[in-house]
Amino acid sequence: MSERFKVTKFDEPSGKNYKNYGATSAESDVELKGKLLPDPGDTDDGLPKEKDKCCDTNLYLYHEEIEDRPRAATFLSSLADYSNTIPTASAADPDAPKPAPPARMGTLIGVYLPCIQNIFGVILFIRLTWVVGTAGAIQGFLIVLTCCCTTMLTAISMSAIATNGVVPAGGSYFMIGRSLGPECGGAVGMLFYTGTTLAAAMYIVGAVEIVLTYMAPWMSIFGDFTKDPEAMYNNFRVYGTGLLLIMGMVVFVGVKFVNKFATIALACVILSISAVYAGIFVNFNGNDKLQMCVLGKRLLKDIHISNCSKDPGGELEQIFCPNGTCDPYYHTHEVSIVQGIKGLASGVFFDNLQDSFLQLGQYIAYGKEPDDIEQMERPTYNQIYADLTTTFTILIGIFFPSVTGIMAGSNRSGDLADAQKSIPIGTICAILTTSTVYLSCVLLFAGTVDNLLLRDKFGQSIGGKLVVANMAWPNQWVILIGSFLSTLGAGLQSLTGAPRLLQAIAKDEIIPFLAPFAVSSSRGEPTRALLLTMLICQCGILLGNVDILAPLLSMFFLMCYGFVNLACALQTLLKTPNWRPRFKYYHWSLSLAGLTLCISIMFMTSWFYALIAMGMAGLIYKYIEYRGAEKEWGDGLRGLALSAARYSLLRLEEGPPHTKNWRPQVLVLAKLNDDLNPKYRKMLAFASQLKAGKGLAVCVSVLGGDFTRRAGEASTAKQNLRKCMEEEKVKGFTDVLVAHSIADGLSHFVQTTGLGGLKPNTVIVGWPYGWRQSEDDRTWHVFLHTVRAVTAARMAMLVPKGINFFPDSTEKVSGNIDIWWIVHDGGMLMLLPFLLKQHRTWKNCKMRIFTVAQMEDNSIQMKKDLKMFLYQLRLEAEVEVVEMTDSDISAYTYERTLMMEQRNQMLRELRLNKKETLGMVQAIVDHHHADVKTASKVRFAEPGSEPNPNDAPSPPLADSEDKETDDKDDFRSSLLHIIDSMWDSSDENSQCEGAPSPPLDAEKKDSNANGDALNPKPNLPNITPDEGTVRRMHTAVKLNEVIVSRSHDAQLVILNLPGPPRDTKLERESNYMEFLEVLTEGLEKVLMVRGGGREVITIYS
């Protein structure tokens, strides 16, 4: 006796009433071994001696498509090393040297500290005191708070985008470009590049200002710049150009030096700020180091404190009375010496609450009296006056560069160990830290320094000293050297990052004229891009004034930040399927608020600069649109185009969208009842839940016959479909086709529905519940023909089984959605439950993902890999790996296969004449006494209908037009119904707990009266099933066992739909339908899914 098959008993879990898939008695064991098992020599018709190498017995049902749709275990093993799936920045450059393995940095080193270094800039040291004094404590606080809120809202949006998948190196340009498309990506990329380049110019001018104004004023080559502002700016231009050349050489020669210097610059920043805080509290009661000479209420410069008096012949009298005639203001006001650093205990904070905004040329003085601040067309002498007009909005533009630099962490995404965790935490913590420092400095400066000294931008009243430096402890040189080195470090970082950003844009080939800048040098450096960057930077240096550069570069950064907020808001509002950020603390309203703030600050600061920046972005956008290379990055704007009119439809590209932008565009194949209403309305409800009001939905049906005769019925059916769609809140279109063949009509719908990019990619088709009872020999023909048509069209297919038990759109269900991931076919099984959970009906359900491990699989590693895969997909689900032992095929499996083969034989013999059929029916009725259980049919009957054993439902896709039946068809229908009843009762008896199996030779004791060859029970010895059939049945039985044991109480079970048989023979197609029945037995709500042969979900951003 062959040992390849053993009769095994399936032990039911305690308390569960499951099917018994094993033999139930020793007697039946003997009978089965004697009757069912093939001889050892049977190798052609029985099972093979060696297991098929390409697919094991447990999953043989899927073996025909295993090459195109690998097993889940195989797919997971290919994703075990996730770092290999992330493209590097130099992947597209053949000349670039082989990159070293990236350093896996954490949140502190990789994100937090770089952001701190980039945010704290030169403005903090040379302009913040002036901003506080000019705007006052209240408005100064609002200025800083507005800028910090803008960057915080942008950081929240950026965190959502950055955690929406793996972000390769490329930072903000990559994120915006892949979210909004190549046109917006290119425009924003160029804006960000320009802003970064101008930031380098501002840092260089700021560094020169620190040196010439506060450290070495003797280096001026254009005379005394304290008396002539233009001389000062010319000095800045000359020395700035020289410093740019030196820094450019440093960047060209060694980027490693720049990276090492960044650490020194960061230390300088932290040390300088600490010194400022220490000095404020050391000088709590003020000090006498900084004293100012004040005439009346006006601040004077270039006067030593010992000469601050109106003594006759003194220095002041010589200045204000040059020809013996004294200035009226000097004559009527007294001179006083004012302490500059008054300390927190002095109460000067209340004097600094109000603003002191001035027009160009007005004097810096206490209060706003015209006599004190207006020049009155008199000489200025040595009185300090405003060198530019100041308002609340202008000061926002000048201060805003101090809060930029929040992209530093995302720019290093390729070097982070866990970018999805580090970028949000590091960036937001850095913004909170810097915002706390800025806001506290506003209040502390206002409470420590006299108002006139705060407004003295260049410290001319105290001998050209930096106010912040003289406030610090222990010495002003800590601040001077620290601020200079940190500013140099920031400038080097900008000169290093900007050329690489330009090269990244050029390599994407979206702006053709930038192609020459994609080339790297032999050392892998973007030399050409560096030269262009230095040229643009030189243009900024020629402006020579930080107060002009700061608002200009603010425009470019604000535009960039605005687009980041726009990208996040669009993705959230469109509910793009790929939009699944791991960072959950975002909302579209926050993104819109950030966008509004960015645009408002732009126009408040300078409408002229704002229009320049927006015009530049618009020109680049249109250039890329009309001249640039076509790129499909799966962007959000393509989603908007789906709901637009002709213009947007023409913009939609033919062909499949990018994986990130894939969403099910549903084609519902609905069956109509006799009243021309949809028979299964819940299919439309399910489509509505799946769509959540987004994308395309088309509901169609086919009527059999001639269109000229049934045109009226088609119109009525279309109206009924439309009404039903409105009731189920499905937004979409309807259509009804009249065709001579139902199968051909459905095939036509699959092939032709849609227009251009507005084309369905997913078909929902009902399960043919009555396929066993119908009088047609090939009731499953329409269903299988549709499955094959959908597969040929490379569309996804959803087959809900038990549709009447699916929830309505008004219901709310809770429980589990179980995904049984057997083979990987593009990720449809992962995406569908996520989309369903977006609807209120399924929102409270939890996802559970099961995958099957074979004997040779490492189930522990599979579970680990699957968890990592879900983490990268930003999906939350419980994971379980089910181990299926390589067990022998059970007796129940073999018996069920034989009964299926016997049924096929009966169907073939139904071509008998009416008299023979009468005899067969009578013999079967006599044997079974017409005792039929119809539970399984009532389950799928229409709601409200009474079950009728003699009126079995037709399959959803069957042709219901022909209502003329002859007597022979009546008998054939009755016979089929009785055969199926025999099938069901046999199954139910064998599946009841503790019920003994009937003797297998029982059929020998009963024969029909006519001596017919057909027996009411299968003639087991006469049929030997094909080995593939047995193995497919084994797969269905074994999978059904494990699915039912774990998912019997799930709200929905989603599993792979096996591919239809390639062979179109009657027996193979009938067997396929039976395999699906066995696979889903005992499950109330099942969704069988077959992907379209392409990836629909991705780990990338």
At residue 377, the 3 state secondary structure works out as coil
- Contact criterion met (CB below 8 Å) for 146 and 554: no
Is residue 973's pLDDT more than 60?
A: no
Buried b (16+ CB within 10 A) or exposed e, 979-1003: bbbbbbebbeebbeeeeebeebeeb
Burial class (CB in 10 A: 0-12, 13-18, 19+), 755: exposed
Residues 6+ apart with CB under 8 A from 961: 703, 704, 705
Query: What is the pLDDT at residue 731?
Result: 83
**Cα–Cα distance measured from residue 763 to residue 786, given in angstroms and rounded to the nearest whole number:** 10
Distance CA 582, CA 166 (A): 11
User: Could you report the per-residue pLDDT of 652-682, keeping only the tens digit for each?
Assistant: 665 556 677 677 889 999 988 888 988 888 9
* Residue 755: pLDDT over 80: no
Q: With 70 as the cut, is the pLDDT of residue 638 above it?
A: no
Q: Classify 1008 in phi/psi space as left (phi over 0), alpha (psi -120 to 50) or beta.
A: beta
pLDDT at 983 over 50: no
Percent of the chain's residues with pLDDT above 90: 30
The amino acid at residue 424 is P
CA 515 – CA 536 distance, rounded (Å) = 18
pLDDT for 655: 54
Distance between CA 84 and CA 77 in Å, rounded? 13
Residue 82 CA to chain centroid, in angstroms? 17
Give me 256's structure tokens: 């490693």
Q: What is the pLDDT of residue 627?
A: 65
Provide the residue type at 672 as one letter: L
pLDDT (tens digit per residue) in 600-631: 999 988 888 899 888 888 888 888 777 654 45
pLDDT value at 979 more than 70? no
What pTM was estimated for this model as a whole?
0.67
Contact in structure between 851 and 881 (CB atoms under 8 Å): yes
* Tokens representing residue 437 in the block: 């420092």
DSSP state of 846: E
Tally of CB atoms within 10 A around 967: 10
Residue 932, pLDDT score: 37
- pLDDT tens sequence across 91-141: 334 444 444 444 567 888 888 988 898 898 888 899 999 999 999 999 999
pLDDT digit string (tens) for 14-70? 433 333 333 333 333 333 333 333 443 343 344 443 444 445 567 777 777 776 777
Distance CA 889, CA 881 (A): 22
Q: Residue 136, by phi and psi: left (phi above 0), alpha (psi -120 to 50) or beta? A: left
Across 383-392, 753-762, 857-866, 970-979, least confident range:
970-979
Average pLDDT over residues 928-934: 39
Given a contact cutoff of 8 angstroms between Cβ atoms, the answer to whether 153 and 590 are in contact is: yes
pLDDT at 982 over 50: no
Give the per-residue pLDDT at 977. Answer: 52
Encoded amino acid at 124, one letter: L
Structure tokens at 199: 């930031």
Which of 382, 252, 371, 358 shows the shortest CA–CA distance to 307?
Answer: 382
Q: Which pLDDT does position 300 carry in this prediction?
A: 92
pLDDT grade for 729, boundaries at 50, 70 and 90: confident
- Between 974 and 552, where is the model more confident? 552
Q: Which residue has the higher pLDDT, 241 or 1016?
A: 241
Q: Which tens digit of pLDDT belongs to each residue from 318-331?
A: 888 888 788 889 88
Q: Is 367 buried (19+), middle (13-18) or exposed (0-12) by CB count in 10 A? A: exposed
Please write down the HEC assignment for all residues of 286-312. Answer: CCCCCEEEEECCEEECCCCHHHCCCCC
Predicted confidence (pLDDT) at residue 395 exceeds the cutoff of 90: yes
Output the pLDDT for position 1101.
59
| pLDDT greater at residue 604 or residue 256 | 604
What does the block give as tokens for 1040? 């059904």
Residue 439: the pLDDT is: 96
Given this model, what pLDDT does residue 1055 score? 92
Whether residue 990 is predicted with pLDDT greater than 60 in this model: the reply is no
Q: Please state the rounded mean pLDDT for residues 1030-1049.
A: 88
Please tell me the least confidently modeled range out of 163-177, 972-986, 1064-1078: 972-986
Whether residue 427 is predicted with pLDDT greater than 80 in this model: the reply is: yes
Dihedral, CA of residue 771, residue 774, residue 777 and residue 780, to nearest 10: -20
What was the pLDDT predicted at 902? Answer: 74
Q: What's residue 336's pLDDT?
A: 92
Helix (H, G, I), strand (E, B) or coil at 207: helix
Higher pLDDT, 537 or 935: 537
pLDDT at 775 over 50: yes
Q: Quote the pLDDT of residue 382.
A: 87
Query: Residue 179 corresponds to which tokens in the numbers above?
Result: 């979210």
Rounded-to-integer distance, Cα 717 and Cα 735, Å: 9
| Helices 476-507/229-253 angle, 10° precision | 60
What are the two backbone dihedrals, phi and then psi, of residue 1090, each rounded to the nearest 5 degrees?
-130, 120
| CA–CA separation, 461 and 681 (whole Å) | 84
Q: What pLDDT score does 9 carry? A: 39
More confident residue, 1009 or 557: 557
Q: Is the pLDDT confidence value at 172 over 50?
A: yes
- Has residue 976 got a pLDDT over 60? no
pLDDT-derived band at 759, boundaries 50, 70, 90: confident
Q: What is the mean pLDDT of the chain?
A: 78
**What is the rounded CA–CA span in Å between residue 140 and residue 447?**
13
The helix/strand count (H/E) of the chain reads as: 37, 13
pLDDT tens across 517-527, in order? Answer: 988 888 778 89
pLDDT at 170: 55
pLDDT at 737: 92
Mean pLDDT of the region 965-971: 46
- The total number of residues shown for the chain amounts to 1101
Contact predicate 971/921, CB 8 Å? yes
Q: How far is CA 947 from CA 580, 801, 929, 930, 934, in A?
A: 46, 19, 19, 16, 8
Gap between the Cα atoms of 304 and 315, Å rounded? 9
Arithmetic mean of pLDDT, 564-586: 85
Predicted confidence (pLDDT) per residue in 547-560, tens digit: 899 999 899 999 98
pLDDT band, very low/low/confident/very high, at 273 (cuts 50, 70, 90): very high
